[in-house]
Structure 1
Amino acid sequence: MRSVVRAGLLLAAFAGPALAEPDVLAKPEGELVLQVHGAIGRTNLNGAAVFDMAMLKALPKVTLDTSTAVTDGVRRFDGFLMRDLLVHVVARGDTVTATALNDYVIEFDAREFSRYDVVVAYQMDGKPLLPSGKGPLWIVYPRDQHAELQDIRYDYRWVWQLKRLDVE
């Protein structure tokens, strides 16, 4: 049985330039890294959007320097903004539920991804995140840029070994 940790109020919607793009995403050619299910408008496999690492790296790249609750010092994270991914799949929900490889599950208020530059990282300090560590994907908040994000309630939202998102 999985438990869901609630991360806040659940009200938001994503729309943007991706609405003008085709409804079908390209098919992944490499190993599947991330699945996005639920209220999305762009799919590529059985009503879901599935991505290999090359597809994720094709999203606009961002770099974030921040400390974490589980590493020493400030670390450099490379990846993409969660909101960019959600716009890319034409997400139409108020909540996003993230699931990790170890079946850890947490539900986010989708507005957080507009309010903060939440990064889905695939590299830390220039090295790929591996499943034996925090990878292949790690949800990272800009905690050093916003004092309110240094609260333990936000630490639960740093999902490492991210494998799936569900939009409702």
Structure 2
Amino acid sequence: MTAMTRLSIVFLLLFSCSVALGDSLPPPQGPVILSISGEIKRTNVGDEAHFDRTLLAELPRHRLDTSTVVTDGINRFEGYLMRDLLAQVEARGESTVALALNDYRVDIPLTDFHDYDVLLADTMDGETLTPRDKGPLWIVYPRDEHRELQDIRYDYRWVWQLERLEVR
């Protein structure tokens, strides 16, 4: 295979990927459990990105075993890396406001999601999270892996019952 042929194949693949991704996400088919607004490029409902469980499941799944300040012992969380989710919507900005079902809100620097493997958890200890037990989504930091994350200012960023992110 010549260098020109290889180069042509690479350009064709890149073009195909960009056409497949497009500027919009597929619309949610089930109940929306997370909405993202603000400084994002990829949307599916007006100028927002709405996710149901199926759309979230398109992201790579990750596992995190860590302690929390609101549960006993070490818990096993599963879900999606926040940086993967924000890359999916092509988020631009310096921070995000995380809003929960109970009206709790907190600013989180986007650098947290790049510096640490912060999880958007949808299960804890093998059980699907529901609004009765901190779900459907919970922002979980790998606090046991990084001493600096055991500081109270990070504890405030563990948003359970997450329903919305506003990228600024």
* SS across alignment from 1:92: coil
What is the TM-score when the length of structure 2 is the normalising length? 0.87
CA distance in 1, matches of 2:22, 2:92: 16
Which protein, 1 or 2, shows the higher relative CO under an 8 Å CA cutoff with sep ≥ 6? 1
CA distance in 1, matches of 2:77, 2:51: 20
CA distance in 2, matches of 1:52, 1:125: 21
CA distance in 2, matches of 1:146, 1:126: 24
1:8-30 deviation line (CA, Å, top 9, x unaligned) = xxxxxxxxx98x83111001010
CA distance in 2, matches of 1:57, 1:71: 26
CA distance in 2, matches of 1:128, 1:47: 29
Of 53-62 and 20-29, deviating more is 20-29
> Would you tell me which structure has more helix in proportion to its own residues?
2
Unpaired segments ≥5 residues, structure 1: 1-16
Computed over aligned residues only, the root mean square deviation of the Cα atoms, in angstroms, reads 1.6
CA distance in 2, matches of 1:124, 1:42: 29
Deviation at 1:79, TM superposition (A): 0.2
Give the letter aligned to residue 80 of structure 2.
F
Q: State the partner residue of 1:127.
A: 127
Deviation at 1:89, TM superposition (A): 0.1
1:93-104 equivalence runs, <5 A: 93-104=93-104
What is the TM-score when the length of structure 1 is the normalising length? 0.87
Q: State the partner residue of 2:158.
A: 158
CA distance in 1, matches of 2:93, 2:86: 10
Q: How many residues align?
A: 152
Q: State the partner residue of 2:12.
A: none
Percent sequence identity over aligned pairs: 56
Unpaired segments ≥5 residues, structure 2: 1-16
* SS across alignment from 1:58: coil
CA distance in 2, matches of 1:167, 1:151: 24
Q: State the partner residue of 1:64.
A: 64
Runs of 4+ that moved beyond 3 A: none
Q: Does 1:53 align with 2:53?
A: yes
* SS across alignment from 1:132: helix
Deviation at 1:151, TM superposition (A): 1.1
Bigger Rg, structure 1 or 2: 2
